[in-house]
């Protein structure tokens, strides 16, 4: 099973700042990684797939990068609506499909 480790667990930033979230895989997953955003009381929303492709309707301030075992989600300038929990997910070696444990992005 591929384990995804996200860091940091919590990130405290202010609106307008740049956010950098990390996801590390226990073995190479090529570029088969997605990022999701989840707000309280809501279902997750797909942001990025295959490491760097934005999903439909996702603002350009969200970008993804990485390959192999190290991946990054960057939010170039935080909007107040971006404060949420972010999960990475791999589809390289399944079953099982696995998620990271999440990074909570909170307002500083």
Partner 1 sequence: EVQLVESGGVVVQPGGSLRLSCAASGFIFDDYTMHWVRQAPGRGLEWVSLISWDGGSTYYADSVKGRFSISRDKSKKSLYLQMNNLRTEDTALYYCAKDMAMRYFDFWGRGTLVTVSS
> Given candidates 16, 97, 106, 107, which one binds partner 1 under the rule CB under 8 A?
97
As a whole number of Å, the CA-based R_g of the chain is 13
Of the pair 14, 56, the CB lying nearest partner 1 is at 56
> Given candidates 49, 62, 71, 83, which one binds partner 1 under the rule CB under 8 A?
49
Q: Residues with Cβ < 8 Å from 33, sequence gap 6 or more?
A: 23, 25, 48, 50, 51, 64, 66, 71, 88, 89, 90, 91, 92
In angstroms, what is the minimal distance from the CB of 100 to partner 1? 7
C-alpha closest to that of 100 among 38, 18, 14: 38
105 binds partner 1 (CB under 8 A): no
Question: Where along the sequence are the contacts to partner 1 (CB under 8 A)?
Answer: 32, 34, 36, 38, 42-46, 49-50, 55-56, 87, 89, 91, 94-102
């Amino acid at each position: 099973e591929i384990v995804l480790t996200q860091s940091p667990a919590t990130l405290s930033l202010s609106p307008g700042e740049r956010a950098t979230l990390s996801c590390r895989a226990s073995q190479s997953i090529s570029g088969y990684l997605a990022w999701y955003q989840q707000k309280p009381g809501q279902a997750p929303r797909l942001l990025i797939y295959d490491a760097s492709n934005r999903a439909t309707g996702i603002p350009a301030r969200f970008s993804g990068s990485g390959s192999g075992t190290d991946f990054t989600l960057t939010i170039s300038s935080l909007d107040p609506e971006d404060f949420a929990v972010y999960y990475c997910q791999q589809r390289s070696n399944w079953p099982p499909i696995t998620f990271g444990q999440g990074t909570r992005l909170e307002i500083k």
